[in-house]
Amino acid sequence: MQIGPDHPHEVQVYSCERAVLHHNRHHRSDFDAIYWRPLNKKSTLTKDGITVTSMISVLPGNSVRTRYAFMKHLSDDKALSRCFSVVAEDRRLDLEADSEATRELWTSALVFLMREHRSRSVRQT
């Protein structure tokens, strides 16, 4: 995946706190944040992830709110169908998946995490 306008380098949404999401089959019930790292480096994950509680929405790249940001960095209009943004209270993470199917999996998973975290928070109060 590639990160978009705010950070013009490649990244991979790599893991959630306490469990790795990418291709490993670890399962945990409490995902609190998402972290990423550059694809072209063997570095560690970013120190400042996006907490699930701060996530407001997950938007497709062709939405009115995100389209312009992606168009500045994409050479092919078709690539918009592979893009999505994780919108948090304090920032937006713009990503491009390698396919529409991969984008759909990530957006569905992130929306699920947001809903589960909110319903868990409501049950605890």
Q: In this structure, how many other beta carbons lie within 10 angstroms of the beta carbon of residue 7?
A: 15
Q: Which residues are CB-contacts of 59 (< 8 A; sequence separation ≥ 6)?
A: 65, 66, 84, 85, 87
**Of 93, 79, 106, 82, residue with least CA distance to 23:** 106
Does domain 2-124 fall under CATH 3.30.530.20? My reply is no
Q: Which residue has tokens 């490649």?
A: 10
Query: Tens place of pLDDT for every residue, the chain, 125 residues?
Result: 444 444 433 334 433 333 333 333 333 445 788 877 666 666 666 667 888 899 999 988 877 777 666 666 665 666 788 888 888 998 888 887 888 899 899 999 999 989 988 887 777 76
- Rounded-to-integer distance, Cα 82 and Cα 89, Å: 23
Give residue 36's pLDDT.
73
Residue with tokens 């670890």: 26
